[in-house]
Structure 1
Amino acid sequence: MLTGRKILLAITGGIAAYKCAELTRLLVKSGAETQVLMTSGAKAFITPLTFQALSGRPVRDSLLDPEAEMGMGHIELARWADLIIVAPATADAIARIAGGLADDLLTTVLLASDAPLAVAPAMNQAMWRNPMTQANVQKLVSLRPRTFVWGPDAGEQACGDLGPGRMLEPAAMLALTEAHFASGGELRYCNVVITAGPTRERIDPVRYISNDSSGKMGYALAEAAVSMGAQVTLISGPVSLPRPSGVKVVNVEGALEMHAAALAAVQAGADIFISAAAVADYRPVTTADQKMKKSAEQLQIALTRNPDILADVAAAPNAPFTVGFAAETQKVEEYARGKLERKNINLIIANDVSRKDIGFNSDDNEVSLISRDEVIPIAKQSKQALAGQLMSQIVRQYQKTQSTDI
């Protein structure tokens, strides 16, 4: 998929720079012509010789290299790249790029290039959450066409903190790179609507019925779709995840809110709808205005069925290409195929949530993508990497329907 693609991998000065050695190896193994550019800070963490050995090309690291600049080397690099990846993208690097500086090789190349740009943030969780960093990210995305933000991931950091700010793993970066080129840019004109996370069905002001969905799969799909050029609306239940850059987020709580938001987004114009949310099947018939006090030994709560978001979207006038998820604990493929037929949708992604190593609240997943005429198993991997593969497959199936319509 990446054979002959020219990728400029720009490495800045963060501890996550070590991950770029594996990323370089994966890109080269996938056939990409990979040129590494390093800032002076990056060379404090890992040596250029490592990347020269892995890429088979001398590393570019100076704007004032007399030999390279005899041929206007920074302009040559700017014109050469099919995709520029800045990884790790530190808070300082993001601020300098967004500010339009041109005081080193990296910033000068970026000012001179109109190639797609992917930045992979990597920093302390407090630095990522800082409003100035968030403003710089939004400024960069809004001012520079075809700029994508890949990540960050959340988890334990080198400093010992927990939270968002980790650079994506190399396998996830490779999957997003493949997804970017797999689309051929055709998602630039597509509106993609994705639901993610759980819903909360209120019993009273402090209690609710919900489930273990973390929202990670839906958020990863949103990031992958943006990286392929789509306009993405993410309808999210309550989650503890960083807001994906370049994505319109609609926050909801209950199934009725999610149902209304989904239908409104579809009516506004959607080409692809992906239902990755774990929507509660039932909600309490009534919600108490005040906290219910403990009294009797037993309590019965009457429940009523929630509307079927996926089926209603699939049945809507001018329905989009509709993709569902089936989280099952037994007979996974059989039940998923039944859901596909019953709701009259185009694709369904099935996974076994009885397993503790994948699915809800896990960073990994393993799924089967099921259409009416084929089953495509996708092996266990991080949800970020899986999202890239799933979006590539969804685009392939979507394009088949478009060619059939024509």
Structure 2
Amino acid sequence: MSKNILLGITGSVAASKSEILFKNLSIDNNVKIICTDAGLLYLSDDFIKNEKIISSWEDSPGSPHIELARWADEILIYPATANFISKMSMGIADDLLLSTILMSNKPTYIAPAMHEEMYLNSIIQQNIEKLSINHIICGPRYGELDIGDTGYGRLIEPHEMINHFQKDKFKVVVTSGGTMEMIDSVRMISNTSSGKQGRALGMELLSRGYSVTYVHANNIKIIPHAKNISFTDSKSLKNILQEELSDSTYLFMTAAVSDFIPDYKDTKLDRSEGSLNLLLSPNEDIVKEVVTNFPNLTTVAFSAQVEDNLNFEKIKDKGVNYLVINNIAKNKIGSDHNQVSIINQTDLLYTSEKLKKEEIASLIIDNTMN
């Protein structure tokens, strides 16, 4: 069904992609453009000449911010710069595009585009998190940036932007980081999982338009435009999954769950009492229980090993759909790089080279999601 779409363009070098987006959107929809003064600098002369672009109050008589906000079924900001995101999060309305968004009572689709250092700046992260409460953040993704750099902040592609508001978003749960099992009231055992691979998966899934619930260890940073839930120990992780998986389609179980748990003492153990024998008991297999409780869920488990064995015994025992195997003797925990093999119940599907974890995340999704 045809929609009235308002396309907002801001001053990023990636703004040239908005010309492709406009062309594709216009096939089945009525599209109008508001472009900031800075955005005009990155559009082609032919596009500016041939398309009706509103860039100031003088371009449209009356009260265009009111009329356009009420006309639009959907508002897309593609690309959205760090400056624009910051102003929008503060409710600033010092140009026509910002005024129109402030006038609108609908969620706006916002596609960030900037260099990685700007995107990861704590202020921008806070602004994106704030906007994500009432709006839909579309990307960015990891990839090639300006001046030959690579990192987070790349604008999603035009067809991906269209998918964000045309495709039904099914829910994906990603777990990340290590559990912390308490010994006494102040001490615990844990592992050195950095959560980097899980976070990279969550970011890539969001850039592809999925609804992501990011279940992460409480010492790991959130993803600002995901639904974030933190866990401490394996029991809290299990309880969260029980709550979140009933309406989920996929689970990426990247979290490093302790294989053993101590016999908890509700006190602070005192060294004056001498040597301590710590009893560790095998922990329950959370992912195995998940498979039993949610048989329609597609589950992707992860196996950190010290050898390259394609662990078909493990995938059959757990009953998961896919197993992602990495050799931690070759790829140290906490590294920015990884090398994985992906298997299903019967076959080796893919073996990667050693790549950045962000690139690995994309390959895992490509090989496990239909």
**TM norm. shorter chain > 0.5:** yes
The residue aligned with 2:300 is 323
Helix, strand or coil at the partner of 2:329: coil
1:218 aligns with 2:198: yes
Question: How far apart, CA to CA, are the structure 1 residues paired with 2:273 and 2:11?
Answer: 62
Q: Tell me if the contact between 1:122 and 1:152 (Cα under 8 Å) persists in the aligned partners.
A: no
The residue aligned with 1:119 is 112
Question: How far apart, CA to CA, are the structure 1 residues paired with 2:258 and 2:360?
Answer: 25
Q: Tell me if the contact between 2:305 and 2:329 (Cα under 8 Å) persists in the aligned partners.
A: yes
1:363 aligns with 2:336: yes
1:264 aligns with 2:243: yes
The residue aligned with 1:402 is none
- The alignment yields a C-alpha RMSD, in angstroms, of 4.6
Question: How far apart, CA to CA, are the structure 2 residues paired with 1:227 and 1:108?
Answer: 27
Question: How far apart, CA to CA, are the structure 2 residues paired with 1:178 and 1:276?
Answer: 30
1:211–1:179 distance in 2 versus 1, CA, 3 Å: farther
When structure 1 is superposed on structure 2, of 274-283 and 179-188 the one drifting more is: 179-188
Question: How far apart, CA to CA, are the structure 2 residues paired with 1:253 and 1:237?
Answer: 6
The residue aligned with 1:207 is 187
The residue aligned with 2:256 is 278
Helix, strand or coil at the partner of 2:364: helix
1:150 aligns with 2:140: yes
Q: Cα distance, 1:60 vs. partner?
A: 2.2
1:101–1:316 distance in 2 versus 1, CA, 3 Å: same
Question: How far apart, CA to CA, are the structure 2 residues paired with 1:172 and 1:95?
Answer: 18
1:351 aligns with 2:326: yes
Deviations along 1:186-243, one digit per CA (max 9) or x if unpaired, are 97331111211001111123321111101111122122222222222222113332x2
When structure 1 is superposed on structure 2, of 199-208 and 307-316 the one drifting more is: 199-208
Any residues of structure 2 matched to 1:69-218 within 5 Å, and which? Answer: 71-73=51-53, 84-86=78-80, 89-90=81-82, 92-98=83-89, 99=91, 101=93, 103=95, 117-120=110-113, 128-130=121-123, 133=124, 136-145=127-136, 147-150=137-140, 170=150, 177=157, 180=160, 188-218=168-198
Q: Cα distance, 1:370 vs. partner?
A: 1.3
Q: Cα distance, 1:326 vs. partner?
A: 0.8
The residue aligned with 2:30 is none
Q: Which amino acid aligns with 2:305?
A: E
TM-score by length of 2: 0.70
Q: Tell me if the contact between 1:141 and 1:148 (Cα under 8 Å) persists in the aligned partners.
A: no
Q: Cα distance, 1:310 vs. partner?
A: 0.8
Helix, strand or coil at the partner of 2:361: helix
Q: Tell me if the contact between 2:179 and 2:258 (Cα under 8 Å) persists in the aligned partners.
A: yes
Any residues of structure 2 matched to 1:297-312 within 5 Å, and which? Answer: 298-312=275-289
Question: How far apart, CA to CA, are the structure 1 residues paired with 2:290 and 2:135?
Answer: 34
1:191–1:381 distance in 2 versus 1, CA, 3 Å: same
Question: How far apart, CA to CA, are the structure 1 residues paired with 2:127 and 2:122?
Answer: 12
Question: How far apart, CA to CA, are the structure 2 residues paired with 1:187 and 1:364?
Answer: 32
Question: How far apart, CA to CA, are the structure 2 residues paired with 1:361 and 1:332?
Answer: 21
1:378–1:33 distance in 2 versus 1, CA, 3 Å: farther
Q: Which amino acid aligns with 2:140?
A: W
Q: Cα distance, 1:169 vs. partner?
A: 5.9
Q: Which amino acid aligns with 1:93?
A: F
1:186–1:261 distance in 2 versus 1, CA, 3 Å: farther
Question: How far apart, CA to CA, are the structure 2 residues paired with 1:83 and 1:264?
Answer: 34
Question: How far apart, CA to CA, are the structure 2 residues paired with 1:33 and 1:125?
Answer: 25
Larger Rg: 2
Q: Cα distance, 1:351 vs. partner?
A: 1.0
Gaps of 5+ in 1: 1-7, 49-58, 154-167, 397-406
Q: Which amino acid aligns with 1:315?
A: T
Helix, strand or coil at the partner of 1:251: strand
Q: Which amino acid aligns with 2:180?
A: R
